[in-house]
A and B are shown apart, each in its own frame.
Chain A
């Protein structure tokens, strides 16, 4: 058992390195290079003028491929880490902030890579992977005691519901992170003529697709959460800060979808709604820190 937990932690460290390197690669790929160009012009009089110009150029294509490879490494290592910890604990690692965030890192990487594959848009990684790295830094900063495997406390002792409720929450957050990245790139792409960014339409659509994954998942999170609350506490809705924040998040994405389908919102306005939505996601994620409440068994 001890060995499994150790190995899981080791794999998490490996994933941390892989994701961090991947983030750097994606940034090198997407941000592009500033190239200083010196041109010597010979004039008819025999003198030469030297002109200097600075230009933004496409990033290093190789770095993008490298980033993808590293991100896959990260996902694999993190997947192994989670599998080992599951074996050691007897339940999926979802019961404290260390475990929850580890699972989040894994799913965010995976969901991102699947979107990258189906859309062929690598620039997104320059936004998603840094978020992942932020999450990794957060996990490393957590108290060391949380790295240990503990038995589930009575309130969490409902393995099927815990697994479904919490992993769907992670899936929704991951999808919303991808949508957020698409919105950020969209806002850059329409303002700066950065030719190597994907077309704004594609980013707009990608954001929408990500929300169509996240929104139903979030609906299920709310529903399963109330089913669970009903079984454990006898009320299916408590207006607890975290569940209220989750509802609010869901409503923001509901507004996003309705303004698109009924009022034909696209582009800028939609992208701004996605930014607000992701701010709500972050608020939901850390909601129990600010307000305590019934979800305050994160262990910190």
Chain B
């Protein structure tokens, strides 16, 4: 038995040292199913709060009960899934799973598998909810042997023990399925471990933007950079999107190492870094020189912002540190349904609005006026020559490296495997006594260990039927009115 968890006698406890007591308390805390259920309930509540944060529910609450508005503000502000309480609860639950679900149960389970108790009592057999009795003219040891053969034929393991001239018998099937609980519970912990490993040793870039024809460095110490050769979005005839595709070239320390395609369900992998197609947009290609003809910018800039005066007008921000200028570029309104007053800039196709702003505290310009530039032309903006070369597209990729994935895969297999073994190969157990009958010959009584388990009792019915058929001896079944299910009647 599990010595650690079995409460020691009160007399002894008094003599135990404080650390012992603390360990004992903690151990029991983590073994308690009731506490584990509370932990799950609190986690579920936190998850609910965290999930609803992203929905319209908090706003609805705030609208309905204005008094709760400050609380709703804090709700929006609280990133539950990265908060301390959430982590603490996950940690507590993991430890509870490890200790209560696994370590504490291990000795008992191993005992039941390797060294089950064979001896039983007549009282136990009498009180069982179902039983089957078999009488034979042969002496007890012969009947016991034949019973053993019959049970083995039904794929049961049989252990016998002689006591007071009677033969006690224990038989079970699928005993190793009891171990299924360990991979299952270990898997739950491994999934958390996988998440931690991924977060600690991997990285995730959720918005890695590369315009067509441009190269962008990935960072995160990878030494990788990516060039977008082409982006295209394809549609069905009815306008439904069909696919989003980025043709990428991956460079390692400036050397081309891989070319490939990333689409929505087929990411591009290089080594252990994975590139996912995530979004797209427009970009503008500019060449900016200062008054002395020095090139400050010769690249595409993604229009991944929107104008502050018109949210339907995409915009880019280009920082030009040598000139201490931050250039805002605003594209024409992309929503043709907008009324003229919604589009104050009123830009025509083929133009961009350039708005220079100071970069840093000592920028050379104040709020200089904006300039409308036309494609193919050079505009003078705050002393810079801005040439609007053409428009292009950009792709937005998610890039990630997650060393936790193999752990996660192993955990998933263990989880499903453990569950399947536990549910579909239930541990079936039978106890019995073979004894000499008063009138000569012998009688064997077997009972299932299936308290309040109707399926197990059904399995026992089948088993006793098999034994009856195999031994060719009359078998009488009894069902205790106290516990028996009504299977016989309802099965017809």
Direct contact of A and B (CB under 8 A): yes
Spot the interface stretch: A48-56, A72-80, A125-133, A260-268. A260-268
* B124 contacts partner chain A, Cβ-Cβ < 8 Å: no
Contact of B55 among A157, A201, A236, A290 (CB under 8 A): A290
- B262-270, B322-330, B354-362: which lies at the interface: B262-270
- Decide: A154 and B51 in contact? CB cutoff 8 A: no
Q: Which listed segment binds A: B235-243, B432-440, B470-478?
A: B235-243
Whether A205 lies near B455 (C-beta < 8 A) is yes
A219-259 CB contact bits vs B (8 Å, 1 = yes)? 11001001100111111110111001101100100110011
Closest to B105 in A: A262
Which B residues are CB-close (under 8 A) to A157?
Answer: 243, 263-265
- Tell me, yes or no, whether B50 is within 8 Å of chain A by CB: yes
Instruction: Contact check, A244 vs B51: say whether CB atoms are below 8 A apart.
Output: yes
Distance A251 CA – B55 CA, assembled complex (angstroms): 22
Chain A contributes a number of interface residues (CB within 8 A of B) equal to: 53
Return the chain B residue nearest A205 by Cβ: B454
Residues of A within 8 A of B419 (CB): 215-216, 219
Chain B residues within 8 Å of A240, by CB: 51
Contacts of B490 in A (CB 8 A): 120-121, 198-199, 202
The distance from the CB of A22 to the nearest CB of chain B, in whole angstroms, is 21
Q: Are A231 and B265 in contact (CB under 8 A)?
A: yes
Q: Does residue B416 face the partner (Cβ distance < 8 Å to A)?
A: yes
Given A219-B415, A234-B204, A236-B408, decide whether A154 and B40 contact each other with a Cβ distance below 8 A: no
Most buried by A among B52, B240, B419: B419
Which B residues touch A202, using CB under 8 A? 454, 485-487, 490
Closest B residue to A242 by beta carbon equals B51
Considering residues B50, B400, B487, which has the most beta carbons from chain A within 10 angstroms of its beta carbon?
Answer: B487
Q: Does B10 contact A (CB under 8 A)?
A: no
The chain A residue sitting closest to B415, CB to CB, is A219
Write the nearest CB–CB distance from B196 to chain A, whole angstroms.
Answer: 13
Name the contact of B276 in the complex, choosing from A151, A234, A263 (C-beta under 8 A). A234
CB <8 Å contact, A154 and B486 = no
B423 → A minimal CB distance (Å): 4
Provided the pairs A201-B485, A234-B267 are in contact, do residues A264 and B452 lie with their beta carbons within 8 angstroms? Answer: yes
Q: Is A153 an interface residue (CB 8 A)?
A: yes
B40 touches A255 (CB 8 A): yes
Query: Considering the chains assembled together, what is the distance between the CA atoms of A251 and B278 in angstroms?
Result: 31
Shortest Cβ distance from B458 into A: residue: A205
Q: How far is the CB of A93 from chain B (nearest CB, A)?
A: 17
Partner of B264, one of A223, A232, A235: A232
Is the Cβ of B55 less than 8 Å from the Cβ of A291?
Answer: yes
Q: Check: B81 CB closer than 8 A to any chain A CB.
A: yes
User: CB-nearest residue of chain A relative to B43?
Assistant: A251
* Bound CA span A33–B491, Å: 23
Known A-B contacts A157-B243, A248-B44; the reply to A232 vs B265 at CB < 8 A is yes
Number of interface residues of B (CB under 8 A): 54
* A22 and B243 alpha carbons, distance in the complex (Å): 44
Report how far A235 CA is from B405 CA in the complex, Å.
10
Contact, CB under 8 Å: A212 / B47: no
Q: Which residues of B contact A62 (CB under 8 A)?
A: none
The 8 A CB mask of A162-177 against B (1 = contact, 0 = none) is 0000000000000000
A248 touches B37 (CB 8 A): no
Closest to A231 in B: B265
CB pair A204 B47 closer than 8 Å: no
Q: Bound complex: CA of A248 vs CA of B52, how far in Å?
A: 14
For residue A291, which residues in chain B have a CB less than 8 angstroms away from its CB?
A: 51-52, 54-57
Q: Let me know if A158 is at the binding interface, CB within 8 A.
A: yes
A228 nearest CB across to chain B (Å) = 8
Closest to A158 in B: B265
Q: Nearest chain A CB to B491's CB is how many angstroms away?
A: 6
Would you give the shortest CB distance from B430 to chain A, in whole angstroms?
A: 19
B420, A216: Cβ atoms closer than 8 Å = yes
Q: Does A143 contact B (CB under 8 A)?
A: no
A215 to B439, CA, bound (A): 53
Are A120 and B491 in contact, CB atoms less than 8 angstroms apart? yes
Decide if A151 touches B423 in the complex (CB within 8 Å).
Answer: no
Contact pattern, B 230-259, Cβ under 8 Å of A = 1, otherwise 0: 000000100011111000000000000000
CB of B133 within 8 Å of the partner chain: no
Interface membership of B398, Cβ < 8 A: yes
Docked complex Cα distance between A262 and B274 (Å): 43
Taking a contact as CB atoms under 8 Å apart, the answer to whether A219 and B37 are in contact is no
CA distance A247 to B241 in the complex (A): 30
CB within 8 Å of B: which of A134-159? 150-151, 153-155, 157-158
B454: chain A residues within 8 A (beta carbon): 201-202, 204-205
Could you tell me if B265 and A219 are in contact, using CB atoms closer than 8 angstroms?
no
Q: Out of A151, A153, A208, A251, which one reaches B44, CB within 8 Å? A: A251
Known: A233-B398, A255-B37. A241 touches B240 (CB 8 A): no
**Residue A209 at the B interface, CB < 8 A?**
yes
Q: Do B400 and A234 touch (CB < 8 A)? A: yes
Contact of A219 among B52, B274, B416, B485 (CB under 8 A): B416
Tell whether, in the assembled complex, residue B204 and residue A154 are in contact, meaning their CB atoms are under 8 Å apart. Answer: no
Bound Cα distance from A266 to B456, whole angstroms: 15
Complex CA gap A212/B419 in Å reads 9
Q: Are B241 and A154 in contact (CB under 8 A)?
A: yes
Q: Nearest-CB distance from B39 to chain A (Å)?
A: 11
**Partner of A239 from B81, B263, B423, B424 at Cβ < 8 Å:** B81
Minimum CB distance partner of A247 in chain B: B47
Query: Are the C-beta atoms of B47 and A263 separated by less than 8 Å?
Result: no
Are A235 and B265 within 8 A (Cβ)? no
Q: B369 within 8 Å of A by Cβ?
A: no
Per-residue interface assignment for chain A, residues 81 to 103, with 1 indicating a CB less than 8 Å from any chain B CB and 0 otherwise: 00000000000000000000000
Quick check: B455 and A234 within 8 Å, CB to CB? Answer: no
B interface, CB within 8 angstroms of A: 33, 36-37, 40, 44, 47-48, 50-52, 54-57, 81, 195, 204, 236, 240-244, 263-267, 274, 276, 278, 398-400, 405, 408, 412, 415-416, 419-420, 423-424, 452-455, 485-487, 489-492
7 contacts between A and B (CB under 8 A): A153-B241, A154-B263, A155-B264, A223-B412, A223-B415, A236-B405, A241-B55
Across the A-B interface, the 7 shortest Cβ-Cβ residue pairs: A205-B454, A199-B486, A234-B398, A234-B276, A201-B485, A154-B264, A212-B423
The interface of chain A, by Cβ under 8 A from chain B, is 120-121, 150-151, 153-155, 157-158, 198-199, 201-202, 204-205, 208-209, 212, 215-216, 219-220, 223, 226-227, 230-237, 239-241, 244-245, 247-248, 251, 254-255, 258-259, 262-264, 266, 290-293
Known contacts A150-B240, A202-B486, A290-B55; 7 further A-B pairs (Cβ under 8 A): A199-B487, A205-B454, A219-B415, A234-B267, A239-B50, A239-B54, A254-B40
